[in-house]
Structure 1
Amino acid sequence: GIKQIEAKTVDFGASDMPLKDEDLAKNGLVQFPTVVGGTIPVVNIAGIKPGELKLTGTVIADIYLGKITKWNDAAITALNPGVKLPDAQIAPVRRADGSGTTFGFTNYLSQVSPEWKAKVGEGTAVNWPTGAGGKGNEGVAAFVGRLPNSIGYVEYAYVKQNKMTYAQMQNAAGKFVSPSDASFKAAAAGADWAKSFYQILGNKPGDQSWPITSATFILMHKAQDKPEQGKEVLKFFSWAYANGDKAADDLDYVPMPDSVKKLIKERAWSQIKDASGATLAQQ
């Protein structure tokens, strides 16, 4: 999405990685958030039910760093008293392609694990120390589904559609939470959209917050070469913000609050103009 909008091959781009103000300015872009969702660790361990396994960010980081290699490692069993975990090699699965999902996942790991931050860091694509690569959320979901003792990360919709075994995660408040619309909404409540649309929603405070939460952002050029198409894009998003909340809910995404939708129109859309300097958004 980012590459294509920068190259002007599309009318708008979408990304789960927000661009910083200097990157927006450099490319003459404006960004605004649409929906909020979660990235979920999923496992395939015989006998383990959805939500039964508890994990922390540091344990997940150590698995993908290749430091924790067995499911019955003391660091995992300590979090899961009474859960029977096998003496089996962990098979980590990650994305083979660049993605906003990977940005959300690696940004979170960088926040909770200094070693991860130093050795791997964050990005839409990183130099993975370990793991088999799957293309897209569907590739990772398929890999985890057929590979015993595996762990991967996918968007919440894929967890629900494929009835995958998700792990509970410990959040910044130290509480173990399951992924849900409510836990994504709790994380999003920590965002200060009034300050800036550059918001990272991972590892936010709050007892109910899901720790690997992110927003999807739309990117458009401020100066529109094809104003008629720009107008249609804004008409579509205007319609989506007015009528799309139920569709977002049905797909397990959290819509933006009305206050944020108002800010988007005032702050972002007002910057999108034709060659004469007239704004394209209908008031």
Structure 2
Amino acid sequence: MTDHRKKHALRLRWRQRVAAPLCVAALTLMTSALTHAQDLTLRETGSTLLYPLFTTWVDAYTKTHPGVHITVGATGSGNGIEQVLAGKVEIGASDAYMSDAEMRQHPQIINVPLAIAAQTINYNLAGLNATHLKLDGTVLAAIYSGAIRNWDAPQIAALNPGVKLPHQAIVPIHRAEGSGDTFVFTQFLSFSTSDWENAHGYGTTIAWPGVPGGVTAIGNDGMVKALQATPGSIGYVGVSFTDKLSAVQLGTAALKNGAGEFVTPSKETITAGAASLGTRTPADERLSLVFAPASGTYPLVNYEYAIVSAKQADATTAAALRRFLLWSIVPSETNEAYLDTVHFIPLPPHTWELSQAQIQSIK
């Protein structure tokens, strides 16, 4: 593993969520001081991966906090970050953390993990959608660079002995807008092969290679629809769209992890992936969770961020924003049920403590 990948693949031994009672008590003490709901609107937009969770959260939260109105939007992580920087929304939902250069330009912005998610690699291949084809980052990078053009290419066949692969063109699909899913997926490609890293790198937007026949899509919902409509296609989709992928019977790949195992995405493997990548999560919580090296881990895992300004326009807005964000991360069976509906994983105690501290800094 390269030093670059080691820097981004920091390890965490998952602990039991022993902090939950303390977390609930702390939130109760804080919210008891805010006895009167504020009649105001908080604005959120960004990640299409986070959008289903935010709609669930907002529906539940506003029922018990009638004075607070929260608008939500699915415009892509890149747009969510841009809107926060422009002061047009209070919350930018993002699957990607901001870069060092962006943070130097905007020191008032904080990146707050709210949950843990993942991306799946999906395909539309007649007769094989029920099979978890084995793929790795090197092969995916070759597909998205145009070096591998057909499903029966020797590199894919070598990973899938005994599987009859068709001589059919591969149609790579990527997101058209600034996307946190693109950020995480291209990190996986960059950490897998220096060829991709040196030529294209990673980000919410990149200069995609011009693969003949390649397709673009907007949002995770658009990605699912493009995959369904395009025989031979392959794409990357946020895990909150797992149920939609299943409904249209698209295939899901088993990805090669850092331990050399081919693993499918599940609650257990995503939890294990996050568990082995995060002990050294810094105070600002900007950390890649891609490419866990431990056994049984799924490699395409990420923090889901609320990108917010620590300097709000007024104290009333700051207090309402703090209260909502703390409510969204407090460990409880109810909140975990919300996460389960979109196949997300709760924050572990270490990360929860850091997120709480960042939220408390909002003034």
TM-score, normalization by structure 1: 0.91
Shift of 1:126: 1.1
Task: Work out the CA distance in 1 between the residues paired with 2:335 and 2:142.
Answer: 39
Amino acid at match of 2:144: Y
Separation in 1 of the partners of 2:177 and 2:314?
Answer: 31
Match in the other structure for 1:4: 83
Aligned 1:237-252 pairs, distance under 5 A: 237-242=325-330, 243-252=334-343
- Structure 2 residue aligned with 1:26: 105
- What displacement does 1:117 show? 1.0
Q: Give the 5 Å matches for 1:185-196.
A: 185-189=271-275, 190-192=277-279, 194-196=281-283
Which residue pairs with 2:238 in the alignment? Answer: 155
Q: Give the RMSD, CA atoms, in angstroms.
A: 1.6
- Deviation per CA, 1:14-56, whole angstroms, max 9, x where unpaired? 2111124563353111221011111111011111134521001
Alignment match, 1:230: 318
1:33–1:215 CA contact under 8 A, matched in 2: yes
Aligned twin of 1:134: 217
Among 179, 196, 200, the residue aligned to 2:265: 179
Q: TM-score, normalised by structure 2?
A: 0.72
3-state DSSP of counterpart to 2:299: coil
Distance 1:50 1:30 in 2: 42
One-letter amino acid of the structure 2 residue matched with residue 118 of structure 1: N
Name 1:278's counterpart in structure 2: none
Aligned to 1:79: 159
1:4 to partner: Cα distance: 0.7
Go from structure 1 to structure 2 and tell me whether the alpha carbon gap of 1:160 and 1:50 turns closer, same or farther (over 3 Å shift).
farther
Please give the secondary structure, in 2, of the residue aligned with 1:207: coil
Q: How far apart, CA to CA, are the structure 1 residues paired with 2:318 and 2:152? A: 55
Which of residues 10, 13, 17 is equivalent to 2:96? 17
Task: For residue 173 of structure 1, report the CA deviation from its aligned partner.
Answer: 0.7
* Cα distance between partner residues in 2 of 1:263 and 1:205: 24
* Aligned residue among 62, 71, 74 for 2:142: 62
Question: Take 2:91 and 2:239, find their aligned partners in 1: how far apart are those partners?
Answer: 24
Aligned residues: 272
What is the alpha-carbon distance in structure 2 between the residues aligned to residue 236 and residue 51 of structure 1? Answer: 42
**SS across alignment from 1:162:** helix
Q: Which runs of 5+ in 2 are unaligned?
A: 1-79
d(CA) in 2 for partners of 1:36, 1:230: 25
Distance 2:235 2:354 in 1: 36
Per mean C-alpha deviation after superposition, the further-off stretch among 38-47 and 194-203 is 194-203
1:12 maps to amino acid: I
- What letter matches 2:102 in structure 1? D
Question: Deviations 1:246-282 (Å, cap 9, x if unpaired)?
Answer: 101221011112342233223x123222xxxxxxxxx
- Whole-angstrom CA distance in 2 between matches of 1:65 and 1:29: 34
- Percentage of identical aligned residues: 32
